[in-house]
Amino acid sequence: MQNVLHTPIEYLKGVGPNRGETLRKELGIHTYMDLINFFPNRHIDKTRFYKINELQRNSSDVQLVGKIVHFKTVEQKRGKRLVADFIDETGRMELVWFRGHKWVRENLKLNVPYVIFGKTNWFNGVFSMPHPEMELLADYKKNLRTAMQPVYPSTELLQKKGITNRAIMKLIQEVMKQSGLRFGETLNQEIVQELNLISKSEAIFNVHFPKNQELLAKAQFRLKFEELFFIQLQLIRKNLLHKRKIKGLIFEEIGENFNRFYKEHLPFELTGAQKRVIKEIRSDLGSGAQMNRLLQGDVGSGKTIVALMSMFMALDNGFQACLMAPTEILSVQHYNGLSELCKELNTSIYLLTGSTKTSDRKEIHEKLENGEIDILIGTHALLEDKVKFQNLGLAIIDEQHRFGVAQRAKLWKKNSIPPHILVMTATPIPRTLAMSLYGDLDISVIDELPPGRKPIKTVHRFDSNRLKVFRFIKEEIMKGRQVYIVYPLIQESEKMDYKDLMDGYESIAREFPDYQISIVHGQMKPADKDYEMDRFLRKETQIMVATTVIEVGVNVPNASVMIIESAERFGLSQLHQLRGRVGRGAEQSYCILMTGHKLSEDSKTRLQTMTSNNDGFQIAEVDLKLRGPGDLMGTQQSGVLNLKIADIVKDNSILSTARWYASKILKEDPDLSDEKNRHIRNAFARLMKDRTIWNYIS
| Domains of the chain with bracketed CATH | 47-144 (2.40.50.140), 256-285+302-425 (3.40.50.300), 457-613 (3.40.50.300)
Q: How far apart are CA 19 and CA 6, in angstroms?
A: 18
Please give the Cα distance from 671 to 666 (Å, whole number). 7
Q: What pLDDT is attached to residue 569?
A: 87
Strands laid side by side in the 91-97 sheet: 121-123, 126-130, 91-97, 80-88, 61-75, 114-119, 133-136
pLDDT at position 693, please?
A: 54
Backbone angle region of 583, left / alpha / beta, with phi > 0 → left and psi within -120 to 50 → alpha:
left
Inter-residue contact 533 to 555 (CB < 8 Å): no
What pLDDT is recorded for position 694?
46
Per-10-residue mean pLDDT, the chain, length 698? 80 91 92 92 84 82 92 86 94 92 90 93 89 89 72 88 88 88 89 95 92 89 95 89 86 91 89 95 93 86 92 96 89 90 92 92 95 94 91 88 65 82 84 74 84 86 93 94 85 57 87 91 80 88 85 74 92 87 86 93 92 86 75 42 78 90 94 94 86 49
Cβ neighbour number for residue 539 with a 10 Å cutoff: 14
| Beta-ladder partners of 237 | none
Indicate the pTM of the whole model. Answer: 0.70
Assess contact for 432 and 232: CB atoms under 8 A. no
Rounded (5°) CA angle 467-472-478: 130
User: Which pLDDT value is given to residue 691?
Assistant: 61
Q: Residue 290 and residue 424: Cα distance in Å, rounded?
A: 17
Q: What number of other Cβ atoms are within 10 A of residue 256's Cβ?
A: 13
CB-based contacts of 149, cutoff 8 Å, min separation 6: 43, 44, 46, 169
Q: Give the model's pLDDT for residue 556.
A: 84
Distance of alpha carbon 642 from alpha carbon 227, whole angstroms: 11
pLDDT at 510: 92
| Beta pairing class for 133-136 and 114-119 | antiparallel
Residue 697: the pLDDT is 45
Rounded to the nearest 10°, the torsion over CA 267, 271, 277, 282 is 50
3 state DSSP class of 311: helix
